Amino acid sequence: MIYDAIIIGGGASGLYLAAQLPNQRVLILEKNTRLGLKLLISGNGQCNLTHGGPIAGFKSHYGGHWKFVKHALNRHTNQQVLEKFGKMGVETIEREDGKIFPVSMRSKDVLNALVTSIKSYDQTEIKTGVQVLSITENNLGFSVGVKGESFTTKSVVLATGGYTYPKLGTTGDGYLMADKLGHEIVAPKPALAAVYIKSDALKELQGLVIREMSCTIERQKKRIYSFSGDILCTHFGLSGPGILDHSRYIEKGDVLKLNWAGIEADKLNHIILEVIASHGRNPLSFLMNQLNLPDRVKQFVLKEVQLNGLMKLAELTKENRKKIVDALTGYEVRINRLSDLNEAMVTSGGVGLRQINPKTMMSKIINGLYFVGEVMDVDGDTGGYNLQWAFASAYVAAEQIKQLDGEDAYAK
């Protein structure tokens, strides 16, 4: 038997792709004994399917890869994803922050909808607990080898995911397969990762969330990137969407400068001088209370600069003022490490994009070989952007597979 497509990987992208191929001979090969394990834990088990708003608003949520991802996202938008799931019986709801979930708030309902849809197709087969050992080209297309047998197919789709959460089976197998087939691999690393700092200075702020905090990354004393977002102080360092979404730019040894005050240093210094001029007899705590800061941060900063909140403002020296300004607008923490592959949500890096057609997800060097989802060098921010990419890339690959079915495009 010759399959129209063999999909390697039974996760979000692989299952969504199969769901678009009701009339093709499709074989899904999943090395785990169960399908969609990572999909089940997405969104803390609630499955943040996608994000609301126009696709143009997604531009800043894929690092520097918008030029590549925009074709698929515009071809299969967030609204079209929701329509597809609606037809499969999954009702959705959009929160105030734009995140879209199934009404049930259960990932297993999304997975069940995909699997039920696929199993209704007469020509689609699913084999679980099967490890792919080889992919070779032949005159019919490809031969996909597993233990004890091989399968022939016109096209192969690598939907193997990244390498984070290896306990769920995502161990980077797709990178090895793509490498053997001549594709470049951008060194994978954990993304959507929390950062661990070299001291426990922030431990006393554990659980505190700072909204839209401004941060700057310095590497070897050079400013390399600035960002802002909601940041959570933890017992080990920093997390929250602001850190997770920009962790792709952070490396071990970097210095992260935190702006608690949310204003520039010069402006803050000017404010301090004005307050001192008008209220010199008041205590330092009076100045701190003029700033829109949580009480815990005020206390933390005074402790860091080693000044007593009861001292008179008029007694502040120039050096004291500088210490306060530096601590409030550029508090430095040194990065010890990022969340490792067992903790990070997605993978940055993967199959290089230069060798993939962004309009079809087909390899530019091997006809009939496709890549979908996280196996590619694409990682999105938190908020449904990674699943939207998984679905959109799978959709355009499926469209190409259907278009080329029976044509000579797979001839080797």
pLDDT in tens, 65-105: 999 999 999 999 999 999 999 999 999 999 999 999 999 99
Tokens representing residue 286 in the block = 């009076």
**Alpha-carbon distances of 226 from 17, 214, 234, 263, 357, rounded to whole Å:** 37, 7, 21, 14, 31
Q: Which of 304, 338, 372 is the last residue of a domain?
A: 338
Residue pair 229/212 in contact by the 8 Å Cβ criterion = yes
Q: Which of 314, 338, 362 is the last residue of a domain?
A: 338
Q: What distance in Å separates the CA atoms of residue 405 and residue 304, rounded to the nearest whole number?
A: 67
CA 132 to chain CA centroid, nearest Å:
26
**Counted domains in the chain:** 2
**pLDDT score of 324 more than 50:** yes
For residues 385 and 273, state if they share a domain. Answer: no
- Identify which of 348, 340, 333, 337 has the alpha carbon closest to the alpha carbon of residue 381: 348
- Domain of 244? 194-338
Tokens representing residue 72 in the block = 């698929």
User: pLDDT at position 407, please?
Assistant: 55
pTM: 0.90
For residues 26 and 159, state if they share a domain. Answer: yes
Read off the pLDDT band of 51 (50, 70, 90).
very high
- Which residue, chain included where needed, has tokens 């701190």? 288
**pLDDT score of 410 more than 80:** no
Q: Which of 294, 321, 338 is the last residue of a domain?
A: 338
Beta pairing partners, 185: 351
**pLDDT score of 288 more than 80:** yes
Which CATH number does the domain housing residue 296 bear? Answer: 1.10.8
User: pLDDT at position 166, please?
Assistant: 86
Which CATH number does the domain housing residue 76 bear? Answer: 3.50.50.60
Beta pairing partners, 217: 225, 256
Cα-Cα-Cα-Cα dihedral of 323, 329, 333, 338, to 10°? Answer: 180
For residues 7 and 155, state if they share a domain. Answer: yes
| Residue ranges of E strands in 208-330 | 209-219, 222-233, 237-239, 255-259
For residues 243 and 161, state if they share a domain. Answer: no
Q: DSSP secondary-structure letter at 199?
A: S
For residues 248 and 279, state if they share a domain. Answer: yes
